[in-house]
Amino acid sequence: RLHSVIKDKGESWTGQCFRDIILTEHVFPFLKNEENVIDPDEVIFVHGKAPCMRAYQTQHLLQDNDVKFWGNDIWPGNSPDLNIAEHIGTIIKDEVEKKMLSEPGHSRYLDETTQNAHFRCFEKHGNRH
pLDDT at 108: 64
- Which residues of the chain fall short of a pLDDT of 50? 127-129
Domain range annotation of the chain: 11-75, 76-129
Cβ distance 70 to 44 under 8 Å?
A: yes
Q: Determine the pLDDT at residue 61.
A: 94
- Give the pLDDT confidence score for residue 24 in this predicted structure: 95
Determine the Cα–Cα distance for residues 92 and 83; give it in Å rounded to an integer.
14
pLDDT at res. 129: 42
> For residue 75, what pLDDT is reported?
62
pLDDT at 13: 78
* Strands (DSSP E) found in the chain: 44-45, 68-69
pTM of the model: 0.55
